[in-house]
Amino acid sequence: MDFLTIIQILDSTVRLGTPLLLACLAGLFSERAGIFDIGLEGKMLAAAFFSAAVAAVSGSVWLGLAAGIAASLALAALHGLASITFRGNQLISGVAINFLAAGLTVLIAQDWFGQGGRTPSLVGGARFEPITLPFADHVAAVPILGPIYSELLSGHSILVYLAFLAVPATWWMLYRTRFGLRLRAVGENPAAVDTAGVSVVGLRYAAVAICGVLCGIAGAYLATGLQAGFVKDMTAGRGFIALAALIFAKWRPWHAMWACLLFGFLQAIALRYQNIDLGGLVIPVQVMDALPYILTVVILAGFVGKAIPPRAGGEPYVKER
Amino acid sequence: MDVMPRWADVVLIPLISLALAAILSALVIVGIGEDPVAAVSLMVKGALGSTYGWGYTLYYATNFMFTGLAVSVAFHAKLFNIGGEGQAMLGGLGVAIACLYVPWPHWTLALIFASLAAALFGAAWAAIPAYLQARRGSHIVITTIMFNFIAAAVLNYMLVVVLRPKGAMDPASARFPEAVHLPSFQEMFSTADTALFRGAPANITFFVALAACVVVWLLIWRTRLGYEIRAYGHSETGARYAGISPFRITMIAMLISGALAGLMAINNVMGEAERLVLNATEGAGFIGIAVALMGRSHPFGVFLAAILFGFLYQGGAELALWTDIPRELIVVIQALVILFTGALDNMVRMPLERLFLRLRGGNG
């Protein structure tokens, strides 16, 4: 394996890790506030469709992004309504949202475009184009560092850079602002937050809304950045891999980034090689497919450091009278 | 004290939730420019208007009864088993191995042992998440979701590398031998003059599913173990105080749940396809969630809900065939049913409880 191949695999790791990272941070906000969210997949899928559909019709990828975020926010509001206002089961609500998105996207896509549940291919301004960082072409010839800069770091769409900037932003928001402190508190001990005179319901809705926005960007990136258009079920379990990454990272932003890059790397390897031959020992591609899930189970089992979720996670808050 | 009479809880709330889901589904159909009344009549005609339609409806219902019971049993122990899909996939693997590698003299023997294999494989796939929940506190919802994906990878590997016959292109096992062919409804009910259920996949497994409903009812409401499962589901501390081991109940409830999900494979793999294919389960494991929620985790409710979803599935296939409405309409309906009977239960329950309180206040 030569240097350029490694760079290419890492480049594709960044691309494939981006939607995971955005969805993972989305889940982080929600779950840190005590709202379990297994509907990341559905929100991403809805955002992917509406961003691609609006971008295809209007020709503007930015309008598409806005539509994607709006669609994801609508589902997030539904999740909030079910799990915060009506104190329903958050897991069941998440399952419902996943199916709702899986069904509605195909139904609407067929109605609008009549192409068997897909949008037309996006071209030109309807897609997020790669951004060439300054001097990327000039330094490409420099050994080692040149390709790293011009191939690996440069040439991604704006949403990729946004996703990686969201990591320090999330860290800062959670650990260095009053809002972040309250958000974390509401996921651990909502009664204490309530006693302090801060609205538990308001905080949780805010967290779910942030989750919706981030899932919206993740879905829009899938359909307008990574690929050119929406196809049925295009999230392909990414929402669940993001969930796995979130547990793997034990609900911490920087760790979430590394977990998503690891899982993105596994996807990049599986995409490039069918079976990996390690000198006699052949690893079938199915092992690569299953590895993120297996790793998550191992982490959950507590064999490699215990993953402890926010204490009030999954519990509806009932104010005592 | 219960605010509402029992009938309101068991019948009224599910009916209102279902009506809400139906109204929203109708709005969706209107939204994509189709006529909901025509759509419903087409679904009824396609799914219930002929023995052929019934043959498909009951075939799907058989799948959903198994997965619905699987989710229900876990629900009674307050465990949410989303892994029915993976457990049913592994059940299919068990059935395929039992049917392909053992020369059965007669289908009755094959049915018994294939059922055992299906249940065993399904239970085994549920065992690891159950153990991790009971001993290590790993959240069963997350682990069973992960195990669905791992199951898909295992099945993919088995079909592509191990079970695929030499020279075959598509990832599927060889056809099962003729001896393990299960009697279909067509063979069971047709007379010399009239052919009934012609070409429909419903088979003898339907009666196995009915038996499973009865057995689960006996287990949950008429045995000591069932009582312990329900007690544990109502209050873990209460159950612990009564000397019920949480580890034992979690394991047993999940093993039964996994076995039931696995049993689905005798219907779709042995009864219908007669070979193991990729995606043999077609999401039936997830529909089990909707079926269990709608059936209020009671075997009779599960039976009714399974028939309803069987109707929706077959009706939806007919719609996709004759109109521009894609099959995914069923996924939307399924989502709405899960949403209203599960997550938004309180939205229906709270106003009703207030209504009953007021009625009672007026009388007394």
Amino acid at B230: R
Question: Where residue A321 falls among pLDDT bands split at 50, 70, 90?
Answer: low
Residue from the list A103, A106, A290 with its beta carbon closest to the beta carbon of B335:
A103
Q: How near does any CA of chain B get to the CA of A240, in Å?
A: 8
B350 assigned to some structural domain? no
Residue from the list A87, A91, A284 with its beta carbon closest to the beta carbon of B346:
A87
User: Are the C-beta atoms of B342 and A86 separated by less than 8 Å?
Assistant: no
Contacts of A286 in chain B (CB under 8 A): 153-154, 156-157, 160
How much is the average pLDDT of A19-25? 96
pLDDT tens digit sequence for A296-305? 888 778 776 6
Which residue of A293, A295, A315 to mutate against B (max B Cβ within 10 Å)?
A293
Q: How near does any CA of chain B get to the CA of A12, in Å?
A: 22
Q: Which ranges of A90-157 does DSSP label H, i.e. alpha helix?
A: 90-113, 136-139, 145-147
Chain B nearest-CA residue for A105: B328
Q: What is the pLDDT at residue B190? A: 83
Neighbour-count burial of B358, counting CB atoms closer than 10 A to its CB (0-12 exposed, 13-18 middle, 19+ buried): exposed
Q: Which residue has the tokens 């609205």?
A: A199
Residue from the list B132, B152, B334 with its beta carbon closest to the beta carbon of A99:
B334
Query: Which two structure tokens, joined as six digits, stand for B359?
Result: 């009625």
DSSP assignment of B248-317 equals HHHHHHHHHHHHHHHHHHIIIIIIIISS-BTT-STTHHHHHHHHHHHTTT-HHHHHHHHHHHHHHHHHHH
Judge: B147–A117 Cβ closer than 8 Å, yes or no: no
B336 assigned to some structural domain? no
Chain B interface includes A75 (CB < 8 A) = no
Q: What is the pLDDT at residue A150? A: 76
pLDDT tens digit sequence for A194-247? 999 999 999 999 999 999 999 999 999 999 988 889 998 898 889 988 998 998
Q: Which range is least confidently modeled, A142-156, A214-228, B42-56, B175-189?
A: A142-156
Show the domain range for B71: 65-300
Chain B interface includes A228 (CB < 8 A) = no
- CB proximity under 8 Å: A 78-97 to B: 78, 81-83, 86-93, 95-97
Q: Where are the domains of chain A?
A: 3-235
Q: What is the pLDDT at residue A306? A: 66
How much is the average pLDDT of B1-8? 74
3-state secondary structure of B200: coil
Q: Which residue has the tokens 């307050």?
A: B78
pLDDT tens digit sequence for A283-296? 888 888 888 888 88
Q: Crossing angle for the helix pair B84-101 and B51-76, nearest 10 degrees?
A: 120
Chain B nearest-CA residue for A90: B343
What ipTM was predicted for this assembly? 0.89
Beta-carbon contacts of A22 under 8 Å, excluding residues fewer than 6 positions away, are A159, A163, A166, A214, A215, A217, A218, A221
B276 assigned to some structural domain? yes
Q: How near does any CA of chain A get to the CA of B263, in Å?
A: 23
DSSP-assigned beta bridge partners for residue A282 = A277
Per the structure, the count of domains in chain B is 1
3-class DSSP string for B71-97: HHHHHHCCCCCCCHHHHHHHHHHHHHH
Percent with pLDDT over 90 in chain B: 60
Question: Where residue B115 falls among pLDDT bands split at 50, 70, 90?
Answer: very high
How much is the average pLDDT of B59-88? 95
Average pLDDT, chain A: 88
Question: Where residue B199 falls among pLDDT bands split at 50, 70, 90?
Answer: confident
B322 assigned to some structural domain? no
DSSP-assigned beta bridge partners for residue B203 = B184
Q: Pick from A169, A46, A139, A138: which is nearest to A101 by CA?
A: A46
Q: How near does any CA of chain B get to the CA of A286, in Å?
A: 5
Considering only residues B170 and B74, tell me which one the structure prediction assigns the higher pLDDT: B74
How much is the average pLDDT of A88-95? 89
Q: Which range is least confidently modeled, A178-187, B124-133, B239-248, B319-328?
A: B319-328
How much is the average pLDDT of B88-112? 93
Chain B interface includes A298 (CB < 8 A) = no
3-state secondary structure of B61: helix
